[in-house]
Amino acid sequence: MTRLRQVAWLALVATSALAVDSMSLNDRTGVWEYWTPIAAADHPGSGAVQIGATVYGKDGGKRELPPLDLIRDVAG
């Protein structure tokens, strides 16, 4: 049983966070987890994009996770 209420993901070039309220099976990893796909089309062009997450506990606690830098290369 998870003690988490929600994980809110934010691509730091976006204006709003994507809330994930329940765990689901990530078919790429085979693990039940809080996750969301990131669409390349939502972040056109090359360069860095930061992905951040805020974890909200059922007890009212909140934790900011360190951002993850991803590199986009449209030339591939």
* DSSP letter string, 31-70: EEE------GGGS-SSEEEEEEEEEEETTS-EEEEEEEEE
pTM over 0.85: no
**Number of folded domains in the chain?**
1
Model confidence pLDDT, tens digit, residues 9-23: 666 555 567 888 888
Q: Which domain holds residue 34?
A: 4-72
What pLDDT digit, counting tens, does each position of 16-72 carry?
678 888 889 989 899 999 888 877 777 777 888 888 888 888 888 899 888 888 888
